[in-house]
Amino acid sequence: MSRSELFRRHVAADPANPLFRFSLGQALWTEGDAAGAIEHLRLAAASKADWMMPRILLGKSLLAAGDKPAAKVAFADALALAVAQGHEEPEEELRALLATLSA
């Protein structure tokens, strides 16, 4: 059973659980289904205003799906959280991603 299949079962049992949504989105992203990950990562990001990781993966998924404007918004939101929370490596990664979208 793939990770996404496992987390699909968890989401089916508890659709409002943001951790299950994030885990499913992350599994789908890892398995190469960026478009499939978007819905789950959006719900995870919306569940907590200060949760950076779903926003990073959401931006990457949106970018892979060809939605550069939405990816830019997700990356900017994640960058603000990275700065506020003192996460230096994600901050560097996000600044680089945003620079490629602005170029």
pLDDT at position 71 is 97
User: Are 74 and 54 contacting, i.e. CB atoms less than 8 angstroms apart?
Assistant: no
What would the mean pLDDT of 53-80 be, rounded to a whole number?
A: 97
Closest CA to 72 of 94, 92, 42: 94
The pTM assigned to this predicted structure is: 0.95
Reported as a pLDDT band with limits 50, 70 and 90, residue 86 is very high
Q: What CATH number should be reported for the domain holding residue 53?
A: 1.25.40.10
What would the mean pLDDT of 60-86 be, rounded to a whole number?
A: 97
Domain with 69, as residue range(s), is 3-102
pLDDT at position 102 is 84
**Number of folded domains in the chain?**
1
Reported as a pLDDT band with limits 50, 70 and 90, residue 17 is very high
Question: Which one-letter amino acid corresponds to residue 82?
Answer: A
Closest CA to 19 of 38, 56, 47: 47
pLDDT at residue 40 tops 80: yes
